[in-house]
Amino acid sequence: MKAGMEVGQTATIEFEVTPDMFAGFEGNVVHRAYSTVSMVYHMEWASRQIILPFLEEHEEGMGGAVSIKHIAPTTDGTKVRVKATLTEIKNNIVITRTEAWNEKGLIGHGEVKQAILPKEKIIQMIADSKQDKESEINF
């Protein structure tokens, strides 16, 4: 990792809820509201924004754990802001606290853990998983 990543750094993404973000399974919409799956995606994406400037050419970030609480519904066309705040760096593990807000208030919060690994190690882990070997990152 390049120098300069520090606890307290933040990254924010903003978007509008669209029908492809609705809660659904197997192509069937369950609720015409922002899904928990989409919230996880956006929390990971905001968290990734923190690490991107600090990756060396031979490194990549790999998600390893996400814990969220989805606390309020958000409907089509609503603007959402997701903020990630770097709370801890443990060797090559980067931990962020995340919050999602709409115009009415907080709609979710959680934590994302990412590992910064050599690209070659990730390639090898994927190859090993194809051979039914166990690949695990310890968080």
- What does each C-alpha distance from 135 to 63, 67, 91, 127, 131 come to in angstroms? 13, 21, 19, 10, 10
**What is the spatial distance between Cα 101 and Cα 58, in angstroms, rounded to a whole number?**
35
Catalytic one of 10, 12, 18, 36:
36
Cβ atoms of 98 and 109 closer than 8 Å: yes
44 is catalytic: yes
Catalytic one of 42, 44, 96, 99:
44
70 is catalytic: yes
Q: Say what the alpha-carbon torsion angle 58, 61, 64, 70 is, to the nearest 10 degrees.
A: 180
Catalytic one of 70, 74, 98, 109:
70
Q: What are the residue numbers of the active site? A: 36, 44, 70
